[in-house]
Structure 1
């Protein structure tokens, strides 16, 4: 399996993503500069956290207007798995690949610590290796992680089982304790917590590794088992 890790000016979790895919998971991975990106030929796309364009205007807003977003939308339409974490999630929201928006944390402070998440939907290509309602420990590191959507959107997310992760104890004020959501098609996941920072016990948790393992297992079932 071959991963593309998209790098924007201001990305600072790209190496973490690269390590998770290449070293922890043991698969191929490339760091792709956003201006030179050609996403054809990759089996999955990872959009890392950080502060793309310094979070000017709104987090992820400027990055969402870059040419690579057109490619992201094309790849999403093809069914290629796309994972956006933290700033990557914000970019997915700003580009319309996922519904909703991010507000400042309710306490108006940057937050950086481990949080317990609940796996609300383990029937996705990103969560199949988890148990339903499994509690996992994944770190957060954000200032604008307060997920917001209107009542109609929230009802739709709940109806379609698009809420993938929730916070056991909501740290930032997110609607319905939402920590991660998926698109209707099931191949674009955005989440604020950082699974790539929890892929080894040495990092205080390896609960995030199952997310990348889920992607690999589902890719193998589709491309190897049927070959």
Structure 2
């Protein structure tokens, strides 16, 4: 039986088609859109919560999408150990839903940032990072106004002790600098996992770095990892 990728579509999503293209046409996997009112995830092997501006990001990013009908199914799906990837607004939604700890603030300089950045692999234990090397530097785009990740001191200690910090913003040599942490995130965090490692939330966009013609195909590393583990495609 072929494996299937599900890409959730919320009102206001604008990276759902990017994710679909990356999965369907680059990774050659069976892929389908899931409307925010859908609740059946029984045939999904990998779930992507894409970026965009769900519900216009009113109140705060991800706050309304968290109450979409599909999210109860997403929570159940994740709690069963199935893989969930939240990208940008998807990361924000996973935070709002309680699947990942912490919160998002406005970027430190209160500006929307859209550019390629470098992130350093901090952990290789999750489904999404097993094909990477700890300390590896990956070049990948960001596009957000509320990507300033925040968690209190106890929460940060817990993330570190449980090896949940997946990526940190860095320079091209892997150094953590004030300049490379452009949005002001706590401990330069760019992505985290849950304790089990099957849920990953990240602000950078791997689905936008799948083909060299776009400047980088480093994004494929994320999907090579999970596809290999799940034997997709």
Q: What interval of TM-score do these two structures reach, taking the shorter chain for normalisation?
A: over 0.9
1:210 aligns with 2:191: no
Report deviation, 1:36: 2.7
After superposing on structure 2, the runs of 4+ consecutive aligned residues of structure 1 that deviate more than 2 Å are none
Report if aligned partners of 2:38, 2:69 keep a CA contact under 8 Å in 1.
no
Which of 125, 128, 139 is equivalent to 2:130?
128
Q: Which residue of 1 aligns with 2:199?
A: 188
Shift of 1:78: 1.0
Q: Mind listing any 5+ residue stretches in structure 1 that lack a counterpart?
A: none
Q: SS of the counterpart of 1:36?
A: coil
Secondary structure of the 1:35 match is coil
2: CA distance between counterparts of 1:47 and 1:129? 22
Separation in 2 of the partners of 1:164 and 1:205?
20
Matches within 5 A, 1:76-95: 76-95=78-97
Could you tell me the TM-score, scaled by structure 1's length?
A: 0.96
Aligned to 1:198: 209
Q: In the alignment, which residue of structure 1 is the partner of 2:53?
A: 51
Per-residue deviation, residues 71-124 of structure 1 (Å, max 9, x unmatched) = 011101111100000000000000101000000000000000000000111222
1:147 is matched with: 149
Matched, 1:138 2:149: no
Report the counterpart of residue 41 of structure 2 in structure 1: 39
Deviations 1:123-177 (A, max 9, x none): 2210111111100001000000000000000000000000001000111000000
Aligned: 1:63 with 2:74: no
Report how far residue 37 of structure 1 moved: 4.1
* SS of structure 2 residue aligned to 1:21: helix
Distance 2:211 2:4 in 1: 21
Query: Structure 1, residues 44-81: CA drift from partner, whole Å, max 9, x if none?
Result: 10000000000000000000011211101110111110
- C-alpha distance in 1, partners of 2:92/2:125? 23
- The residue matched to 1:92 in structure 2 has which SS? helix
Q: 1:178 — aligned with what? A: 189
Contact 2:7 2:50 in 1 (8 A): yes
Tell me the C-alpha RMSD between the 2 structures.
1.2
The number of aligned residues is: 222
- Which digits, 9 at most, give the CA deviation of each residue in 1:178-202, with x for residues without a partner? 0000001111100000000001101
